[in-house]
Every structure is written in C-alpha cells, then in structure tokens.
Amino acid sequence: MRPLLLRGGRVIDPSRGADDVADVLIVDGKIAAVGRGIPTPDGAIERPCAGQVIAPGLIDLHVHFREPGQEETETISTGAMAAAAGGFTAVCAMPNTDPVTDNQAAVGFVVRQAIRAAKARVYPIGAVSIGQRGEQLAEFGELVGAGAVAVSDDGLPVISSHLMRTALEYAKTFGVPVADHCEDPTLAHGAMHEGLVSTRLGLKGIPSAAEEIMVARDIILSELTGGHVHLCHMSTRGSVDLIRRAKEKGLRVTAEATPHHFALTHERCEGYDTNAKMNPPLREVADRDAIRSALQDGTIDVIASDHAPHHYDAKERAFSEAPNGIVGLETAFGIGMRELVEPGLLSLPNLIERMSTMPARIFHLPGGTLAVGAPADVVVLDPEVRWTVEASQFNSKSANSPFLGEELIGRAELTLVDGRPVFERAK
Amino acid sequence: MAGALHRMATEIVERNQGTDGLVIVGIQRRGVELAERVAALIEAAEGTTLPRGKLDITLYRDDLQTIGPRPIVNETRLPAALDGASVIIVDDVLYTGRTARAALDEVADFGRPRRVWLCVLVDRGGRELPIQADIVGSTVALDTRDRVEVMVTEVDGLDAVDVIRAANGEAR
Amino acid sequence: MTTALGKDLIGLEGLTRAQIELILDTAEPFKEVSERPIKKVPALRGKTIVNLFFEPSTRTRISFEFAEKRLSADTVNVASSGSSVSKGETLVDTARNLEAMRIDMVVIRHGSSGAAQFLGNRIRSNVVNAGDGQHEHPTQGLLDLLTLRDEFGKIEGLKVAICGDVLHSRVARSNLWGLRTMGAEVGICGPASLLPRGISELGVTMLPRIEDAIQWADALNILRLQLERMHAGFIPSLREYNRVFGVSTERLAQAPKPLRILHPGPMNRGVEIDSDVADGPHSVILPQVTNGVAVRMAVLYLLAGGSPEWATPGSDDR
C-alpha cells in the first residue's frame, strides 16, 4: 500500500489535546507522522485537506446490524458501509439478533462477516444472558475470547437485579463493561414518552421513571460490585442527575446518549410519525437540554447512534404497533454539528472526543487517537457543508429516519481503516 | 306583488273548486313566506283554516357532486296526512325546473297526494326539465345570464321582485 | 375533495368553533328526516361507504349504518371478526385495497390511536374516525355537544364534568376539545390512577371526588369503566369504584341544581352509574343515541361534497 499524506487539514486529536493545521502521514496502515510541512515520501499519495478536519475515526458503541436473522433490514456488510459513510471506523454491534449473539460461535460469525465486509470495524457485543432471556448468564469468558468487547442484553433490560449483580461481578474478570438498556418493564408499557403529547394523542406513555429506576439500580449495583456499568441511550434529566452523583462518588459508571435524544422532543410524535418512535422515547425539552448539558460537562461520556434499521413497511403501521428505533450512523455527526457545535454548546474537538476518543477509552478499543504508531483509523470531515438527508443516499439498507428532508451540517469525506479507504465521497 | 298573490290565491280556489283537501307547501326559503301569504289570503276569503307545510329540497338536489352540500339545510315540515290531499307547492321563481323536480320527489316520500299543483310568483323561462307551473304570478322571458331576485318582508325587510339583466345592470 | 370540514374527520382537536357549529346546525334538519314515514333522502345516492370496524362495536356501527342508509349511500361493512383483518400490517394493505376500489368514504374504528389519520393520509377517500384507540371519537363528542345544546339551549358557559376512566377514553378527549372550543367549562373527575398525565395543564377544573363534580357541574358525562382496568391494577375492584365514584340517586340529590346525565354507552349499571340514574328523569342517554344518527348524517353529508362556498345563495332555482 502506498503511503498516504493528508496535507494541510485541521488536525483534531482529543487524545493528545491537539487542534492545529497540520499534515498526517500514514505508512503501512499506521500513523507515521503528524506535523507541519512533512515532506512527501517517494510514491506517496498526497491528498490536500485544506478546509477539512482530520480526526481519529468516529466510534459508535451502540448499533444494531440485524444479521443474522433480518438480513432484509441490514447486514453486517451494509451496516459497516453505512458506518464508514458516516465517518465511523468502528462500531459495536448489539447481540439482539436472531439467533442471539450469546456464544463464541455467534461472536465469531460477526467477526468473520465484518472482516469479509472490510469496511468499518465491527466489534461484537455478547449477550449478558443466554438467549437474552434474563435467566442464565452467558459464557463471558468465551465471548470475550472470541472477540466480544462488552456484554449487554440491549433491546431488553436486565430485569433481575441478581443477574445484573452477577454480570457486573463476573465481567470484572474479563475487563469488559456491562451495557444496560435501562427500563423497568412493568412501568414501560407505552409507545412514547408519558406527558402532554401522549395524553393528546391517546398513546400509552412511558414515564421517565421507567428509565430512572433502572439507572438508579444499576448505579447501586455498580457501587456494590465495583463493576463497570455502561448505561445505554440516556434520555431523561433524572437519569442525568443520577449519573452525575454516581460520578461524583467515583463509581465505574459510563453513559451514552443518542443524537435523536439531544436533537428531538416528544412533540415530534404528533401526526403519529412512526419514525419518531423509539425506545427510550423522545422526551421533553428539559430532558433534551439536560442531555446536552451532560454532554458538555462529561456526565454523559459518549454519543452513540443506537442505529436500528427497520424494513420500510415495518414502520407503515399504526404508531403503537410500529417497531422502535431509527437508523443513525449516517446522520450522527451532522446532527451533532447542527445541534451541539453550531449553537456553541460543544466545540468541534469536544464533539470528536464524545464520538471517538471517549468511546475507544471506555470500551478499551484501539482507535480514538492520531498518536504516531496507532492504527490509521482516520476520518476526513467537511465541517461546513450543509446537506439534506435523503433516503436514496443512505448506504444502510433501511431509511427509517425522522431526519429525512432536514438539513444537517458536516459529514465525512474520507474514512480510512488501517490506512485503507473504506469510504470516499464521490465528487 | 300583492296583486299577483291575490290572483294566485283566487286561482287556487277556483282550480280546486273550493278549499277541501288543500295543503299549501312552501319551498325554503322564500317560497315558505309566499305560501303563508297565499294561505292567509285564501283563509280570509273563504273563512276556513288551511294546513301548511314547508319543504327544504337541499337533500333532494341532483347537483351535490358539482356544487357540494349547502352549509345550512333548512327545516322540512309537512302535515301528517298528504294522502289524498291537493298539494299546492309554492315557490318564488321557476327557472330550470330542478327545484320543482326535487320538491315533487320529496313530497312523494311523505305520501300520495290526490294531485299536486305548482304555484310560482315568477316564471322566467329557461326550463331544463319538462316541468311547468300551474299557477303563475307573472311571466318574464330572460336570458340565462339574467337573474331574478324575489324579496319578501319577512326575510328581506321589503317586498320586491328585481330583474337583474347581465347586459345593462339593474332594472325594476 | 376538500370540504368545510377538510377531507377527513379525525378528531375534534383542531376543528374551529364555526366548523363544529356547522355540523351541529346541519344535524338539526337530519333529526327530522328520522321522523319521516320514509326515513330516507337521496343526498348521498351513488356514494359508496365502507364501514371498517377493526374493533367490535354494535351501537356506533349501527348508528353510522343508519346514517348512511338514510342518506341513500351504498354501504359495505367489514368487521375484524372472522376475516383476516387483525392488526398493523393489514391496515396499510386495507388502505391500498380501498384506494384501488375507488371507495368514496371510509368510516373506521380501530384499536390503535392514530389509525384513522394513518388511513386518511394514504387514501383519497374521505375518512371518518369512528374511534381510534384512546385518541378520539369525534362523532360521539359531537352528539354529546348536540344533546347538551338541545337540553340547555347553548353550550357556551356550561359546566360539564367528564367522570371516570379519562386515561383510556377517546370519548373524554373528543368531549374535552369540543366543549372547550364551544366555550364550555370542562371538569375532570376520576381516580388519579385513571387520569392521563398532564390533563390538569389543559385548562380544566380538576374535581377529585364525584361529590365535587356533582356540586360543580351542569351536566355529568359519565364514562364507561371497563372490567379490564381492574385486572390491570388501575383500581382495586368495581365494587369499590362504585362506592367511591359511582353516580347514584343519593349523590345526585345533593346537587344544587338538577344535572343532566350523559353516558356514551354501553353502560355498566351498578359500576359507574346506577340504574335509577340511567333510567331517571335527568338522564339524556337515549336522546344521545337519537342525536348520534343525526350528527353522523351531518358529518357524512358535509364531507360528501365540495366547499359550501360554492353553493350560491339567492332565490333563483338552478
């Protein structure tokens, strides 16, 4: 592979606190040098990057790729392509496929399919319990041995406090976090956030308490066990308060928020738009604002897309019967720019930190850095371009997005994994 | 207008050979007031009491598809027994004949009169259906673009018949 | 075709006062049609209407069917029981089939909130919501308004208490919007476990106990309490519900003025309403049923044609 010199971009590397106009030289799939005026090596490809941002590739800790089981909706290959197009060099695939990723063979399948796709890296997340049934612990040792980077029953909460305690304790042996979908199922019989809008639409509501009860429990169990709990897709101001207090106590608690939860509110469900149906549901303005503040001060560590593709006709239903979730990989960065950077809530380096450096750090993944010698997982971003979200432009097999037709700011121009281009935007 | 109504009242009694079985039915809106006047004239002349009715033909129109529903459907109230009666349908203007056609349909849904007469204040010609009035206050031949407006005190505050010619504005 | 009411009637939220008045005024002459020897007018002759009932309903379906037949429309009933119609995915298929058959109007009852709007957004035919989940039941709201107007001569300034399981009630929502738009004061009375979140922010008077409602109101609209609510843990028992929230003659005797009693039916006698109240002198439950047909005729008639502005006033027959 010929060396690649990314010339004269704004190099943002939160892992080193760097934000300068510089060049990045990539040789043999690794970062070889970062600095100004790097001479072009013999045979190197030089790419001018003026006006563009060179950053460590984005990392998404929470995606659903539907393979095996629902390949008509997404495959590991199409999902990895969508990730690359969104500027992601690595994603973590949740285990709620059919069959569930609850054994080493299933984990190995994800790893192999990802290698075959040769786009963004896809790290499997193993199940907490066999079949995600919430009864018997999965074999974490074998899952991690086969390549799992975390365990989770996402899609479902770990209902049993005993099982959650055991999982947190047992996962410590292997140094992986337990990622929990926080929801008290006895409170969460609903189609959207419980509030004035659900009252008006006559839809059953999911109170914020359904999430907060489980967040509180998980924090308490983290304290009890010393285990690392990762709280998925936080959506309420109450959850933010609980996490803030846990972090003040120094507990091993990390948390993520999705672009839709910091961009949208429950009013979006008016007109029964099923692309506004997700779990946790879109909440109130005060919740959205609390999530934004939590991303500012680091109470919420990372942005994760919760990319959840659904076949087009699955969402063509009455609201209460439609499935939860939206695709997010190809819009996440543009939403972050529009909602957080443009209004001045986060700097661009902060956004990249929440979408790259921090995800790598909390799940112990390679990447998230442009340090010399690191694998060249790099994204070149155009931070200025305003573009309109169109279903036909998605690389994902699905297009269930509430952002269709909206204008976003910024997107990936070039995505490199191990120095190899996995996505380059057509001119 | 008063003279015309007198003549119409007289002719109704002559045609019916008295007031036996007479039912005076006005078509909403101004036909109702005209029917009331005619009935009162007959009652005064003959010293009797006549049953009245009012008919709103909106729901019987044949042009719902083209003009859409009228916002207000007025009251229809007919005496209980139309069977065997001599029904006088009173309206202000006879033009295409479609209102009269609808009125006949509606009356038929209330019973089987012995016979039905159509009585109008103004016949302006321009029929689109084979319908004619039996008793007419006055006849004018008008172009399709011309309009006739009948006003009655009860609704409009004055009695008047206006002929509005498309060509040269308003004339009375 | 867009009419004075728009293409569809999905709910009373969003209708203007003028639109609601138009429907109520149009219903007046239709009351008389049902008193005629031949209870039929040709207004909707040649129109085809499908009554699409995904949820069992006897009285609403019959009321719509009478309304359609008295307007001379051709009707087809599709009920969920016994057919392949069940849930979700068939709704979109049903919509496509109806569209392909060039139906003029669809009356839909469905267990999911938003189903009527879902259908209305996908077909050109007029859609009338006959109850969607816990969202709205606009013709019930309209017939309640008509009944109140008949009883009191006006709606503006009336105090109407909606009592019972407001959380699960589409009737409550339609009444709330309709009454507010028409200038009535709305009271809400029921166990807090059966009231929806945020209802107190909608400009209503909260009446914690049924005794409070009886003191406050001119009329009570008593909602049906379904047995399932007990099994789902919203209330401990029907017996206790009757003791605490049931409307009885003894309780009504404490009212400072005679109240009118409305109920959308079907009634659970001895639960939310005692028999002697339902059958008593203050009950307007049967006039509600009569008005139901008239209101539905008015809605169908108004949706059937074009804009009312097109109808030319004046005395020329045309």
- C17-136+292-307 CATH choice from 3.40.50.10540, 3.40.50.1370, 3.40.50.720, 1.10.1580.10: 3.40.50.1370
Q: Check pLDDT > 60 for residue C88.
A: no
* B98 contact residues in C (CB cutoff 8 A): 317-318
Stretch A347-358: mean pLDDT: 98
* B105 contact residues in C (CB cutoff 8 A): 42
Look-up of token digits 């009950």: C283
With contact defined as 3+ CB pairs under 8 Å, the chains touching A are: C
Q: Using a threshold of 3 CB pairs under 8 A, tell whether chains A and C touch.
A: yes
Q: How many CB pairs under 8 A join A and C?
A: 71
pLDDT of residue A57: 98
Q: B67 touching C, CB under 8 A?
A: yes
Q: Kindly report the nearest CA distance between residue B28 and chain C, in angstroms.
A: 9
CATH architecture of residue range(s) A57-362: Alpha-Beta Barrel (3.20)
CB C117 within 8 A of CB A271: yes
Alpha-carbon distance of A315 to A325, in angstroms, equals 10
Name the residue in chain C with its Cα closest to that of B58: C43
The whole-chain average pLDDT of chain A stands at: 97
DSSP string, A39-50: PPPTT-EEEE-T
Each domain of chain C, given as residue ranges in start order, spans 17-136+292-307, 138-289
Residue A68 makes CB contacts below 8 A (sequence gap 6+) with A97, A98, A99, A109
Q: CB-CB: which of C305, C306, C317 is closest to B95?
A: C317
Name the residue in chain C with its Cα closest to that of A186: C232
CB A56 within 8 A of CB A352: yes
Q: A319 touching C, CB under 8 A?
A: yes
Q: Check pLDDT > 50 for residue C209.
A: yes
A4-54+375-424 is a CATH 2.30.40.10 domain = yes
Q: C208 touching B, CB under 8 A?
A: no
Q: Kindly report the nearest CA distance between residue C164 and chain B, in angstroms.
A: 36
Q: Give the confidence band of A160 by pLDDT, cuts at 50, 70, 90.
A: very high
- What tokens appear for C216 in the block? 């406050």
pLDDT of residue B29: 83
* A195 contact residues in C (CB cutoff 8 A): 197-198
Note the ipTM here. 0.90
Look at A200 and C173 and tell me if their CB atoms are within 8 Å. yes
pLDDT for A28-45, tens place per residue? 999 999 999 999 999 999
Each domain of chain A, given as residue ranges in start order, spans 4-54+375-424, 57-362
Stretch C118-127: mean pLDDT: 93
Q: Check pLDDT > 70 for residue C307.
A: no
Q: A189 touching C, CB under 8 A?
A: no
Residue A354 makes CB contacts below 8 A (sequence gap 6+) with A295, A301, A302, A303, A336, A346
Alpha-carbon distance of C16 to C23, in angstroms, equals 11
Q: Give me the catalytic one of A306, A313, A377, A418.
A: A306
Q: Kindly report the nearest CA distance between residue C89 and chain A, in angstroms.
A: 6
Burial status of residue A405 (CB atoms within 10 A of its CB: 0-12, 13-18, 19 or more): exposed
Look at C114 and A322 and tell me if their CB atoms are within 8 Å. no
CB C283 within 8 A of CB C273: no
Q: C287 touching A, CB under 8 A?
A: no
pLDDT of residue C312: 36
SS (H, E, C) chain C: CCCCCCCCECCCCCCCHHHHHHHHHHHHHHHHHCCCCCCCCCCCCCCEEEEEECCCCCHHHHHHHHHHHHCCCEEEEEECCCCCCCCCHHHHHHHHHHHHCCCCEEEEEECCCCHHHHHHHHCCCEEEEEEECCCECHHHHHHHHHHHHHHHCCCCCCEEEEECCCCCCHHHHHHHHHHHHCCCEEEEECCHHHCCCCHHHHCCEEECCHHHHHHHCCEEEECCCCCHHHHCCCCCCHHHHHHHHCECHHHHCCCCCCCEEECCCCCCECCCECHHHHCCCCECHHHHHHHHHHHHHHHHHHHHCCCHHHCCCCCCCC
Pick the range with the lowest mean pLDDT from B118-122, C57-61, C81-85: C81-85
CB A344 within 8 A of CB A374: no
- What distances in angstroms separate CA B112 from CA B83, B84, B104, B105, C39, one per listed residue? 5, 6, 11, 11, 16
Q: Kindly report the nearest CA distance between residue A231 and chain C, in angstroms.
A: 27
Alpha-carbon distance of C190 to C185, in angstroms, equals 17
pLDDT of residue B71: 57
Q: Give the confidence band of B169 by pLDDT, cuts at 50, 70, 90.
A: low
First to last CA, chain A: 23
Q: Using a threshold of 3 CB pairs under 8 A, tell whether chains B and A touch.
A: no
Q: A387 touching C, CB under 8 A?
A: no
Residue C132 makes CB contacts below 8 A (sequence gap 6+) with A202, C10, C108, C109, C110, C112, C113, C114, C115, C116, C117, C170
Q: C35 touching B, CB under 8 A?
A: no
User: E-strand spans in chain B?
Assistant: 22-27, 52-55, 86-94, 115-123, 135-139, 147-151, 160-165, 169-171
Alpha-carbon distance of A217 to A220, in angstroms, equals 5
DSSP string, A179-236: EE----TTT---SEESSHHHHHHT--EE-HHHHHHHHHHHHHHHHHH---EEE-S---
Alpha-carbon distance of A38 to A32, in angstroms, equals 11
- What tokens appear for B140 in the block? 């004018």
SS3 at position B33? helix
Strands A18-27 and A30-35: antiparallel
Look at A316 and C92 and tell me if their CB atoms are within 8 Å. yes
Burial status of residue B49 (CB atoms within 10 A of its CB: 0-12, 13-18, 19 or more): exposed
Q: Check pLDDT > 50 for residue C317.
A: no
Residue B103 sits at the vertex; the CA angle it makes with B98 and B107, to the nearest 5 degrees, is: 155
What dotted CATH number matches C138-289?
3.40.50.1370
With contact defined as 3+ CB pairs under 8 Å, the chains touching B are: C
Alpha-carbon distance of A200 to A17, in angstroms, equals 48
Alpha-carbon distance of A393 to A260, in angstroms, equals 19
Q: CB-CB: which of A316, A317, A319 is closest to C113?
A: A319
Q: Give the confidence band of A353 by pLDDT, cuts at 50, 70, 90.
A: very high
- Whole-structure pTM value: 0.89
* C29 contact residues in B (CB cutoff 8 A): 56, 59, 73-76
Q: What is the dihedral of CA A85, A89, A93, A98, to 10 degrees?
A: 50
Name the residue in chain A with its Cα closest to that of C117: A271
Stretch C3-9: mean pLDDT: 88
CA A172 to chain centre: 23
Q: What percent of chain B has pLDDT over 90?
A: 60
Alpha helices in A256-304 (DSSP H): 259-263, 285-297
Q: CB-CB: which of A195, A205, A318 is closest to C110?
A: A318
Closest CA to B6 of B158, B141, B135: B135
Domains of chain B: 2-144 (3.40.50.2020)
Stretch A349-360: mean pLDDT: 98
Q: C315 touching B, CB under 8 A?
A: yes
CB A151 within 8 A of CB A125: yes
Q: B147 touching C, CB under 8 A?
A: yes
Residue C39 sits at the vertex; the CA angle it makes with C37 and C42, to the nearest 5 degrees, is: 125
Eight-state DSSP code of residue A280? S
More confident: C307 or A150: A150
Q: Give the confidence band of C309 by pLDDT, cuts at 50, 70, 90.
A: very low
- What tokens appear for C263 in the block? 């109920």
Phi and psi based region of residue C133 (left: phi greater than 0; alpha: psi -120 to 50; beta: remaining): left
pLDDT for A291-337, tens place per residue? 999 999 999 999 999 999 999 889 998 999 999 999 999 999 999 99
With contact defined as 3+ CB pairs under 8 Å, the chains touching C are: A, B
Q: Give the confidence band of B66 by pLDDT, cuts at 50, 70, 90.
A: low
Q: B69 touching C, CB under 8 A?
A: yes
Q: Give the confidence band of C311 by pLDDT, cuts at 50, 70, 90.
A: very low
The DSSP element (H or E) to which A19 belongs, if any, is strand A18-27
Residues written for chain B: 172
SS3 at position A371? coil
Look at B64 and C316 and tell me if their CB atoms are within 8 Å. no
* B111 contact residues in C (CB cutoff 8 A): 37
Q: A317 touching C, CB under 8 A?
A: yes
* C118 contact residues in A (CB cutoff 8 A): 272, 317-318
Q: What percent of chain B has pLDDT over 70?
A: 91
> How many CB atoms are located within 10 Å of the residue A308 CB?
26
SS3 at position A409? strand
Q: Check pLDDT > 70 for residue C316.
A: no
* C294 contact residues in B (CB cutoff 8 A): none
Eight-state DSSP code of residue B75? P
Residue C96 makes CB contacts below 8 A (sequence gap 6+) with C122
Burial status of residue A286 (CB atoms within 10 A of its CB: 0-12, 13-18, 19 or more): exposed
Main-chain phi, psi angles of A124, to 5 degrees: -75, 145
Whether the link from the prior residue into C266 is cis, omega within 30° of 0, is yes
pLDDT for C180-205, tens place per residue? 999 999 999 999 999 999 999 999 99
Alpha-carbon distance of A387 to A365, in angstroms, equals 31
Q: Check pLDDT > 90 for residue C92.
A: no
Look at C132 and A202 and tell me if their CB atoms are within 8 Å. yes
Q: What percent of chain C has pLDDT over 70?
A: 92
Q: Check pLDDT > 60 for residue B170.
A: no
Whether the link from the prior residue into C56 is cis, omega within 30° of 0, is no
Going across the sheet that includes C205-207, the strands are C205-207, C185-189, C159-163, C219-222, C260-262
Closest CA to B30 of B5, B61, B67: B5
- Cross-strand pairs, C185: C159
Sign of the C-alpha dihedral computed for residues A287, A293, A296 and A299 taken in this order: negative
Alpha-carbon distance of A201 to A273, in angstroms, equals 11
CB C91 within 8 A of CB C53: no
Q: Kindly report the nearest CA distance between residue C58 and chain B, in angstroms.
A: 28
Q: Kindly report the nearest CA distance between residue B149 and chain C, in angstroms.
A: 6
Residue B141 makes CB contacts below 8 A (sequence gap 6+) with B124, B125
A13 in active site: no
CA A112 to chain centre: 21
* C16 contact residues in B (CB cutoff 8 A): none
Stretch A341-367: mean pLDDT: 98
Going across the sheet that includes A150-152, the strands are A58-63, A88-93, A121-126, A150-152, A178-180, A229-231, A253-257, A302-303
Alpha-carbon distance of B71 to B95, in angstroms, equals 23
Look at C32 and B60 and tell me if their CB atoms are within 8 Å. no
Strands A150-152 and A121-126: parallel
pLDDT for A220-243, tens place per residue? 999 999 999 999 999 999 999 999
Burial status of residue C203 (CB atoms within 10 A of its CB: 0-12, 13-18, 19 or more): exposed
